[in-house]
Amino acid sequence: ILEERCQRILQDMEGSLTARDRVGIQDFVLLDAYTSETAFMDNLRKRFNENLIYTYIGTLLVSVNPYKELGIYTKKQMDIYMGVNFFELPPHIFALADNVYRTMISETNNHFILISGESGAGKTEASKTVLQFYAVCCPSTRLLDNVRDRLLLSNPVLEAFGNAKTLKNDNSSRFGKYMDIQFDHQGAAVGGHILSYLLEKSRVVHQNRGERNFHIFYQLVEGGEDELLRRLGLERNCQKYRYLIQGECAKVSSINDKSDWKTVQKALTIIEFSEKDIEHLFAIIASVLHLGNVHFEASAHGYATLNSSAELLGIPLNMLQEGLTHRKIEAKAEEVLSPFTAEHAKYARDALAKAIYGRTFSWLVNKINESLANKDSTRKTVIGLLDIYGFEVFDVNSFEQFCINFCNEKLQQLFIQLTLKSEQEEYEMEGIEWEPVPYFNNKIICDLVEEKHRGIISILDEECLRPGEATDFTFLEKLEEKMCGHPHFVTHKLADQKTRKTLERGDFRLLHYAGEVTYSVVGFLDKNNDLLYRNIKEVRGFTTVSLSLHTSDHFDDVMVRHQVKYLGLMEHLRVRRAGFAYRRRYEVFLKRYKALCPDTWPHWKGTPAEGVQRLIKHLGYKPDEYKMGRTKIFIRHPRTLFATEDAFEICKHELGKAPVTSNKRRLAFPEGVVMILIETCWRGLQARKERERRAWAVKVIKKFIKGFINRNQPVSMDNSEYLAFVRQSYLTRLKENLPKSVLDKTSWLTPPPIMQEASVLLRKLHTRLLVRKYVRGISAQQKVQLQIKALTSDIFKGRKENYPQSVCRPFMFISLAWETDVISHSTQYSVPVIKYDRNGFRPRFRQLIFTQAAAYLVEEAKIKQRVNYSSLKGVSVSDLSDNFLILHVTCEDTKQKVGGEQISLMHYTYTELLSFCSVRFDIQPGKEGFVDFKSSSESMVYRAKNGHLMVVSPHNAMHTT
């Protein structure tokens, strides 16, 4: 890793500036035509086409979503950017995250990263990438790994419940999120807290064409287990639920709801949601789906009646009927129920669904916060991640878009003010005269929205609270009265003739910093009453910002240009330049360029500021090209820096290849000696690292051997790590080789001595889980078979030689088409057999059929013998491995001799009954017959010389059917 990092650093130092013509400028501050939007766009396009999606504007990071995998977020990349100077490597979100982390550690101060951009720009992915970086770079222990896992896995849960497919993005965040990551004094992540706001609850009940509801609904329906769906009363078909099909795209090829469901289930478990919590959570989600299917019909008087038999949320149907179809009016000490129309009832149903989902989401966030809470009361530093909605403009813009766009206005105002303030403070601290920078101040728009007693929000609040029949349109009339003549506000009534054609009577238009947006006032009053979050608090002292640009798989010039405008990138660049393109501390500047001046090379013994002064004098900098601050040099034009960098590139090669003379020692170095010296130093560094690595390896091996020698001793310092390794190794191997069947008694891995007790417990637990999983998945018929198997086990276990081999085989129920024509009762069991006559033991091929009433022997659809169960005296088999069955039947036929006993000797494929080694039976009064059983190498049935029927079975024979 060290070698690769050094190579990357050297390559970047050698090529980052000289490659500017091929891959554009890595930092827009170094752009010569920094006031030109065209030059800005050309630089973005050039870098995007080379898959360089990140570019700096000072410490601000601009990214352009490539909509493809670039392989730039690997563990290898994280290692390269970890602990490196911010401008040392090419722009990357890892560099930004690392800079914030190291600044927080060194200053022991809180910082945060603001991630902004429009929907589809990649804000959610950026915040996840930052979290993953901190998960890798922070110190690690078992406890800290647990915190890290919860931080990472909170994302898929919040995405499932708070994200949805929109027209621009398959995974668009429909809520704002601010996450605190808490670190201790060593820089280890020890906790976190999430603040959510502006959940788009209206999406629960309505989606535009081409959009979906929140992901969790589809994940539950498509991925939920059969038993779970049965308990919740759901069907595995999204088309059955009104709240899921309004966008007409319930299934999306790029979204795998089944896989995402498993991810959410795993995440909920790791975040420590109990089974009861999870059960209640999905019961509520299911109830919202059921609620969407409740419909209403108008009565004869036009009032709403509930036409549904669903019982939701544990509420009796009559209470649901009353709550959704009537409004309760309190008049002094009396309560009166006023009936709704069908339309009002639908509105009440949707309002209830939104309220349920909104409260559920708040509960979910609180549960996650409980899991992330840091139990240590000592002081912590914090890195905040603010992932906010981007500026939104749709065909119909409602109250949600109004709030989102106002948030972006406030952030833009705050962003420019803080950037301007930080620049002014740096100039003042360095003793350099500040040059005023022209920029667009959007304070007039912010005041239009939030000014006390006159702003849109104040007027909206007053209209919601005033007595009387306030409506969305009376609110619009108040706006027209108060805002008449404002340059950034217009309505149909206030507009000129040409503009009026583009506005409906219920619309008002705001001229935002990012452009014009037309809002429909419909729903403003109701949604304002529901809104929990509205105040935009100023956040001071943020370290850096990530702004994401949304484009397609090719560079969409119009789309990107619009975002560059409303994100204020040109304003920020002008403020950041403030007359000087480049600034560096004297130590850094001198270290890089000292080889360009004989007086400063190879060693400068004066102060860094004096060394820089000597260096730039030698380079011929003109007085108007630079300024010397207290700790930094400021260079006005990029071309001055580029000329210095070009000279440095030439100098480096000359130092390595040509003879070098030391003016101080007056010694001439032979050609190439400098390169040899560099190589020697590098080889020495590598050798020292290799020695450290081998010493570490020897220490580990010694400890392993010592642990092995003492493995059977009580746990101590000598063997604790070895035993921990043994436990982990065994559990890892066991996880990959678990038995797949309850009947598999041989494949359980033999445990080491230290894991004997744990292995027994794990085996019992695994067997229990397999049984539970099997029972849940079997059919009713299979359950009957299991019951029969259990009964058979009671009879035969340990009593018949071939019983163990028969356990794993299910009973085979064979049904023949002709049986119903011959036998009136339904067939319970049917099997082909060979029947042996009592006289002479002649074999006969028959079909044995058991019904509810009797047993039958059938030959070619003809009943040859019927045995009533009432006449059955007994059943005999041997304890060997034969398949022979003897039925003892009382002769009830008057044609048979009195006192005689009828028997049926049958050889068939599966036998489990009582056992004998020799069976005697009465052929007729005074005449007996015998069946003998014995073991041999082959299976045979024949008449012996003594006249007995001999049944021979192979020892421990296996059934073949």
As a whole number of angstroms, the distance between CA 259 and CA 279 comes to 19
The answer on whether 687 is annotated among ligand-binding residues is no
Active-site annotation, residues: 119-120, 124, 169, 172-173, 390, 392
The answer on whether 122 is annotated among ligand-binding residues is yes
As a whole number of angstroms, the distance between CA 599 and CA 429 comes to 29
Helix axes 317-325, 342-372, angle to 10 degrees: 110
The answer on whether 474 is annotated among ligand-binding residues is no
Task: Say if CB 434 and CB 417 are below 8 A apart.
Answer: no
Task: Say if CB 317 and CB 290 are below 8 A apart.
Answer: no
Q: Which residue has the tokens 């396009």?
A: 45
Q: What is the dihedral of CA 242, 244, 245, 246, to 10 degrees?
A: 80
As a whole number of angstroms, the distance between CA 719 and CA 826 comes to 69
Task: Say if CB 447 and CB 487 are below 8 A apart.
Answer: no
Among residues 851, 849, 876, 853, the alpha carbon closest in space to that of 865 is found at 849
Q: Label residue 303 left, alpha or beta by phi (over 0 means left) and psi (-120 to 50 means alpha).
A: beta
The answer on whether 367 is annotated among ligand-binding residues is no
End-to-end CA separation in angstroms for the chain: 62
Tokens of 799: 């009593």
In DSSP terms, 519 is beta-bridged to 397, 508
Instruction: Tell me how far the alpha carbon of residue 571 is from its chain's centroid.
Output: 37
As a whole number of angstroms, the distance between CA 550 and CA 389 comes to 13
Taken in order 241, 243, 246, 252, the sign of the CA dihedral is: negative
Task: Say if CB 708 and CB 722 are below 8 A apart.
Answer: yes
The answer on whether 302 is annotated among ligand-binding residues is no
Residue 250: phi and psi, rounded to 5, are -60, -35
Helix (H) or strand (E) holding 122: none
Distances (CA, A) of 250 to 26, 224, 244, 353: 42, 16, 6, 19
As a whole number of angstroms, the distance between CA 812 and CA 654 comes to 90
Residue 145: phi and psi, rounded to 5, are -65, -35
Q: 687 Cβ partners below 8 Å, 6+ apart?
A: none
Taken in order 628, 633, 639, 645, the sign of the CA dihedral is: positive
Q: 46 Cβ partners below 8 Å, 6+ apart?
A: 23, 24
Q: 677 Cβ partners below 8 Å, 6+ apart?
A: none
The answer on whether 58 is annotated among ligand-binding residues is no
Q: Which residue has the tokens 């059934």?
A: 959
Q: Can you spell out the DSSP letters for 391-424? A: P---SSB-HHHHHHHHHHHHHHHHHHHHHHHHHH
The answer on whether 118 is annotated among ligand-binding residues is yes
The answer on whether 123 is annotated among ligand-binding residues is yes
Q: 602 Cβ partners below 8 Å, 6+ apart?
A: 594, 595, 662
As a whole number of angstroms, the distance between CA 24 and CA 714 comes to 65
Q: Residue ranges for the binding site?
A: 117-124
Q: Residue ranges for the binding site for ATP?
A: 117-124
